[in-house]
Amino acid sequence: MEYYTWILTFHVMSFMSWMAMLFYLPRLFVYHVEYKDKKEFVEVVEIQEEKIYNYIGHPAMWATFLSGAWMLYLNPSVLQGGGWMHAKIFVVTFLIMYSLSLNYFRKELKANRCTKDGKFFRAYNEVPTLFALLIVGYVITKTFSFLFTLIAVAIFAFIGYKILTKKEKA
């Protein structure tokens, strides 16, 4: 178990890199859809979208997943610690699906088939923050609190609703 802390370090660094992509890519999507009439600008944004997903985010997602699985293999007792690890794995599953959805939107935008607007991507950009809040909360407290989860989801649902229903100022 001497090298367990090195695996944990790699896991945390991978997670940070993955989250960087999850926080930034939807913001690029906002620029992509709001400036779609500026061809040269969109070409640069598409290059950024592809590089951040393929060279940073997707590899970091796999590194996070594999290092996490390795730590579970080395220390399976964390699965008996009050449900927090099960809750974390559950949320991570949704985070992986979210990450893959970003690749779907990236490809749709590149092919000019995406019908989503900037408001949608602004709200969608809040999703990884909620997932990160839940994951870090479970890991730090080593507990699963249904109330904490419910409050966090409610706050972010409210924020998303406000973003999507915000009227443009004339």
- For residue range 85-114, what is the model confidence (pLDDT) as tens digits? 988 999 999 999 999 999 999 999 999 999
Is the pLDDT at 170 greater than 50? The verdict is no
Confidence of residue 157 (pLDDT cuts 50, 70, 90): confident
List binding-site positions: 11, 88
Cβ neighbours for 82, distance < 8 A, ≥ 6 positions apart: 142, 143, 144
Question: Is 109:33 a contact under the CB 8 Å cutoff?
Answer: yes
Q: Which residues are annotated as a binding site for heme?
A: 11, 88
Tokens coding 57: 């985010």
Q: Which residues contact 23 (CB under 8 A, 6 or more apart)?
A: 125, 128, 129
Instruction: Classify residue 86 by burial, with Cβ atoms within 10 Å: 0-12, 13-18, 19+.
Output: middle
- Residues 118/107, Cβ–Cβ less than 8 Å: no
With 90 as the cut, is the pLDDT of residue 148 above it? no
Q: How far apart are CA 71 and CA 5, in angstroms?
A: 9
Question: Is the Cβ–Cβ distance between 144 and 83 less than 8 Å?
Answer: yes
In this predicted model, which residue has the larger pLDDT, 144 or 53?
53
Specify the pTM: 0.86
pLDDT above 90 for 166: no
